[in-house]
């Protein structure tokens, strides 16, 4: 039986029996635009997932016609109206709340797969960028939209796109805020895979991940998260440390035995 949670009416969280979590933006009538309630719901969803027992993988998507149209214009007008936002305050470790809404998917100990369809603009593109993997519909419309409003991407995009999007490409897209398609997103580095049914493809990959050793999956994500900022010697040491923890562990032995016995593995929570 699936378990359902809801932070508010903006994000629905469903946990399947295999440990795959589905986080769905549920403001479909507004193209899942990002308003204060949506940010609150995203952060609450992230908090619920961080320490959730049995969690194996997360699929992030939007209901209705779009992943998300980005920042709600009414919210933007509130900002212009003079309501001060504590952007410089680090309220979530190394991030402010807006940045955490995107970075939390990268910070989660399990893989996150974003399924992107319809439009994915501005802040939404940064939220999708927080995922480990992005499955994008070929006809999706994407844009680094902030320059249209005279601002810059500030939800972690410059960090999250590093290593995925070539520097000069990102500069051109940021300076011009031009739209590009899901097909283009693959070549540009914003998409991992292109699929006409991104949610179905994301769920299939998530369920495959859920069948793997959860301790090995979490160790791999930890290594991926650290490799960009570590010198070579530290990366090599981190690999050795994680491998030493895994070798001979219950889940590692179960991975070997299940293969030898040609049966489904039965893993324990990390």
Mean model confidence pLDDT for the chain: 94
- Give per-residue pLDDT as tens, 172-186: 999 999 999 999 999
Residue 1 scores a pLDDT above 50? no
Please state the three-class secondary structure of 64-99 as a single string. Answer: CCCCECCECHHHHHHHHCCCCCCCCCCCECCECHHH
How high is the pLDDT of residue 31?
97
Mean pLDDT of 190-209: 98
How high is the pLDDT of residue 75?
74
Distance, CA of 206 to CA of 209 (rounded, Å): 5
Distance, CA of 46 to CA of 238 (rounded, Å): 26
Mean pLDDT of 185-192: 98
Residue 214 scores a pLDDT above 60? yes
CATH topology of 3-210 equal to that of 214-260? Answer: no
Residue 81 scores a pLDDT above 80? no
- Give per-residue pLDDT as tens, 110-139: 999 999 999 999 999 999 999 999 999 999
- Give per-residue pLDDT as tens, 6-48: 557 899 999 999 999 999 999 999 999 999 999 999 999 999 9
Strands 180-181 and 141-143: antiparallel
How high is the pLDDT of residue 130?
98
Inter-residue contact 62 to 47 (CB < 8 Å): no
How high is the pLDDT of residue 87?
86
- Give per-residue pLDDT as tens, 142-171: 999 999 999 999 999 999 999 999 999 999
Strands 141-143 and 119-121: parallel
Fold exhibited by the domain 214-260:
Lyase 2-enoyl-coa Hydratase; Chain  A, domain 2 (1.10.12)
CA distances for 181 relative to 23, 103, 141, 142, 246, angstroms: 24, 24, 5, 6, 41
How high is the pLDDT of residue 83?
55
Give this prediction's pTM: 0.94
How high is the pLDDT of residue 80?
54
Distance, CA of 101 to CA of 75 (rounded, Å): 16
Residue 71 scores a pLDDT above 70? yes
Domain ranges in the chain? 3-210, 214-260
- Domain 3-210 is found in CATH 3.40.50.300: no
């Amino acid at each position: 039986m699936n378990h359902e949670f809801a932070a508010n009416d903006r994000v629905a969280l469903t946990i399947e029996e295999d440990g795959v979590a589905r986080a769905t933006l549920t403001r479909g009538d507004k193209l899942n635009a990002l308003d204060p309630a949506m940010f609150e719901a995203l952060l609450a969803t992230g908090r619920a997932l961080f320490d959730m027992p049995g969690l194996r993988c997360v699929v992030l998507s939007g209901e209705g016609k779009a992943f998300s149209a980005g920042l709600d214009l009414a919210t933007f007008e509130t900002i212009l109206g003079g309501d001060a936002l504590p952007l410089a305050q680090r309220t979530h470790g190394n991030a402010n709340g807006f940045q955490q809404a995107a970075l939390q998917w990268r910070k989660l100990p399990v893989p996150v797969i974003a399924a992107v369809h319809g439009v994915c603009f501005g802040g939404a593109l940064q939220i999708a960028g927080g995922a480990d993997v992005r499955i994008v519909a070929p006809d999706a419309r994407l844009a680094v939209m902030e320059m249209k409003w005279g601002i810059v991407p500030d939800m972690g995009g410059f960090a999250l796109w590093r290593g995925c999007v070539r520097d000069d490409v990102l500069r051109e897209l940021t300076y011009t805020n031009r739209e590009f398609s899901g097909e283009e997103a693959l070549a540009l580095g914003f998409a991992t895979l292109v699929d006409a049914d991104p949610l179905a493809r994301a769920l299939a990959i998530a369920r495959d991940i859920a069948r793997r050793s959860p301790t090995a999956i979490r160790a791999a994500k930890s290594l991926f998260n650290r490799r960009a900022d570590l010198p070579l010697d530290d990366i090599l040491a981190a690999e050795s440390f994680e491998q030493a923890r895994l070798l001979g562990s219950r889940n590692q032995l179960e991975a070997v035995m299940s293969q030898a016995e040609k049966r489904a593995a039965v893993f324990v929570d990390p």
